[in-house]
Structures are given as structure tokens and as C-alpha cells.
Amino acid sequence: MQLDVELKKSFKDFTLDVAFSLSSSRTGIFGPSGSGKSTIMNLLSGLELPDSGFIRLDDTVLFDAKKKINLKPDQRNVGVVFQHAHLFPHMSVKRNLFYGYKRTRPEYRQIDPDGLFKVLGITRLLSRDVSTLSGGERQRIALARTVLSNPRLILMDEPLSALDEGHKFQIIPYLKNVFNHYGIPMIFISHSVLEMRMMTDEVLVIEEGRIQQHSAAEELVKKSWGSGLESYINLIHLGSASPYKDLFRYKWGDTSFILTEPAKGEENLFELDSRDILLFKRHPEATSARNLLECTVTDIYGSGNRVRVELACGNEHLIAQIVPESVHELGIEKGTMVVAAIKASAFKKIF
């Protein structure tokens, strides 16, 4: 996907003025409330009319003020998922799903509904009344309805914000599956750094109607260093677990981790606080930590009395957070070999 955008839009007390080019199929728009995220989405999808500029999606001009081109929302073939799923309350899930599908032009009906329902785990919900669904289920239905229209691009405006923490993380694997499976590019809007890291590769940071930064999602976390975020959280993707004594072993890159927590599926996400990684100069003889990894220091940066140490451990990466005194005592610099020690109980399951 290639999206080239230059847009201006003024409201009474607010002006949006942005220009960006996106080629990543998993892009985030990140910014505080009122910064203009939803306005961008409304302009892209055709729900609002820009004052000036253009929107080009691959070889299609969706909008161009100078050339007086302005495709209607249904001609743009851009799908939208809102924070609150707009479902018809008195219809079954199935009727909600097919309501739009039947009105979709036949040439756009290229997604096999049953396959999609499986990917989203909603097959068993089809006959239910929408009023009986949980927030996370409603969002999966809303996404299914959007995907059924076979869009070229899906815009998701804070789709997880209305869900509580537990449900939010349950729905993320389904969202990821859909985008992987159908290869639909998406723009994911959120004000949560964690959601950005889980759902996107690249992020546009917007403040007061202007783009402030366009970077990798992980850069976002590093840049917020020193401005509130207490410690870096490593997100660790692990495969299936196998029993190991009374603990569980998970493959991680070309090595493995021992955890106290079991997990059922093939795809599991754990968080590991950077402060829970201890660094040693040499292999400690005996330790209560079940995980000892040989790693190379690839970067070091500090803020106040905390230092972050980026580590390459085999073909994977970790960030540890230590105090400046430890850096001196361990003689850590770029290229130094260290042993990272992590307790089996330090990993917390996200999903």
C-alpha cells in the first residue's frame, strides 16, 4: 500500500495541517485526545471534506482539491472501525454482518464469510442478538462487517479504548490474525503506547493538528523515556509451552525461556519489565534465576538515575534498566558481553 496525503482542515478552534506518506501496512496514528486523530480518519474515509490538499491511495486519487476530485465514502473502498461498534441493536449478529455485505458490489465480495468468522472466532456468536454481546465481541463483529466489504484499507479509530484491560488483550490476537490472513493494510489510531507496539510497525505522532514524528513503533517507547514512563516493558512473543520440571519452557528465537506461567495457544505475548533483568559480567555460579542468557550490549542511554541497556541475545533483543553505578561496576559499554538473569516469575502474560 502507498498512501500519500496532504491535508488542511480548520474548525472554529482547531486546525489540522498534515502531510505524510505511508507504505507500511501496519501504521499507527498516536496522539493525545483532541490532537486531530479522528479528524484525519474522517478526512481519509470521506466523512469530512478537507479545506485543501489531496489523498492518493496507490494509483487512485480519493481527493484532490485543485483537481476537484472528491470520491464519496462508498467509492473510496476504505473501511472504518470506530471506538464503539455501531451495530443494529435489534438484529442478530448474522443479520448485522450480512446487512452491508448484501449491499456490497458483487466484485467487492471476495472474502469468504465462514473463513473470516473462524479467523475472528465469532462463528458461535452468529445467531446471538447483538445486545447480548460483550464489548470485545462487538468490536470483532464490527471488524468482520468491515472486512466483508473487502476494503483496500481499514482505519481503526481507538477500537480498543472502550474495552477493559483484560478484554482488550483478548481481542488483539484476533485483530492481528485478520490483518495477517487477508493482508489488508490498516491504520490504527490510539493514544496507548502499548497498543501501538502490539498492533503497528510505524507510527505517526500527532500533536495539536501537526505531525511531530514518523518513526518505528519501538522508537515511540524509547522517545517517551524520561517523560513519565517509569520503566521500559519488553514485549516477549513466545510460542507454545512444554512442561519443564514443574515449570514451562518456551522457545524464544534460537534460545528458550523458563516461565512459571503455562499458556495454551501457539502465540503468546508476555511482558517483562526492564527492571526485572539482572546483568552479570560473568556466568553466576548459582542463582535463583531460571533464565541465564548470554547477550551483547548494543546500546546504552541514560536519563536521571536510570540507564537502559539494549541487548542482543542470539537473534532476539531485550532492554534492561539498571542504575548508573552498575554500569561502571560492570564496565558496560557497546559491544560488552553480559549475562542477563531473569526469574521464571518475572514474565506476566498479556494474552
Q: Give the footprint of ligand ADP on this chain (CB under 6 A).
A: 11-12, 14, 31, 33-39
Q: Which does 39 bind (CB under 5 to 8 A by kind): ligand ADP, Mg ion, none?
A: ligand ADP
Cβ closest to ligand ADP, residue 11 vs residue 88: 11
114, 134 in Cβ contact below 8 A?
A: no
Minimum CB separation from ligand ADP for residue 34, in Å?
A: 4
Which of residues 34 and 314 has its CB atom nearest to ligand ADP in the complex?
34
Residues 211-270 that bind Mg ion (CB under 5 A): none
CB closer to Mg ion out of 28 and 276: 28
When CB distances are held under 5 to 8 angstroms depending on the partner's kind, the choice from ligand ADP, Mg ion, none that residue 11 binds is: ligand ADP
Which run of H or of E encompasses 182? helix 165-182
Residue number of the CB atom closest to Mg ion: 38
Of residues 38 and 96, the one with the C-beta less far from Mg ion: 38
Q: Name the binder of 301 from ligand ADP, Mg ion, none, CB < 5-8 A by kind.
A: none
Hunting for cell 551483547 — which residue is that? 296
User: How many residues in the chain?
Assistant: 351
Q: Which CB sits closer to ligand ADP, 161 or 177?
A: 161
To ligand ADP, the closest distance from the beta carbon of 18 in angstroms equals 11
Q: Which residues are 9's β-sheet partners?
A: 16
Q: Is 63 helix (H, G, I), strand (E, B) or coil?
A: strand
* Residues β-bridged to residue 293: 340
The nearest distance, CB 83 to Mg ion, in angstroms, is 7
Return the one option of ligand ADP, Mg ion, none that residue 31 interacts with (CB less than 5 to 8 A, by type).
ligand ADP
Rg over alpha carbons for the chain, rounded to the nearest Å, is 23
Residue closer to ligand ADP by CB (options 189, 344) is: 189
Residue 273 CB, nearest approach to ligand ADP (Å): 29
Q: Which is nearer to ligand ADP, 205 or 346 (CB)?
A: 205
Window 27-66: contact mask with Mg ion (x via CB under 5 A):
----------xx----------------------------
DSSP 308-348: EEEEEETTEEEEEEE-HHHHHHHT--TT-EEEEEE-GGG-E
The H or E element containing residue 197 is: helix 193-199
Q: Which of 305, 295, 282 is nearest to 334 (CA)?
A: 295
Contact 287, 341 (CB under 8 A): yes
Task: Give me the helices (H) in 9-160, please.
Answer: 37-45, 73-76, 93-103, 113-120, 135-148
Supply the minimum distance, in Å, between the C-beta of residue 147 and ligand ADP.
23
Report the Cα–Cα distance between both ends of the chain, in Å, rounded: 29
Query: Do 168 and 199 contact (CB within 8 A), yes or no?
Result: no
Q: How far is the CB of 136 from Mg ion (least distance, A)?
A: 20
Residues binding Mg ion: number (CB under 5 A): 2
Shortest distance in whole angstroms from residue 17 CB to ligand ADP: 12
> Bridge-partner residues for 340, per DSSP?
279, 293
Q: How far is the CB of 69 from ligand ADP (least distance, A)?
A: 22
Within 10 A of 235 (CB to CB), how many other CB atoms are there?
Answer: 14
Q: Which is nearer to ligand ADP, 37 or 308 (CB)?
A: 37
Please give the single-letter amino acid code of residue 40.
I
Q: Which residues bind Mg ion (CB under 5 A)?
A: 37-38
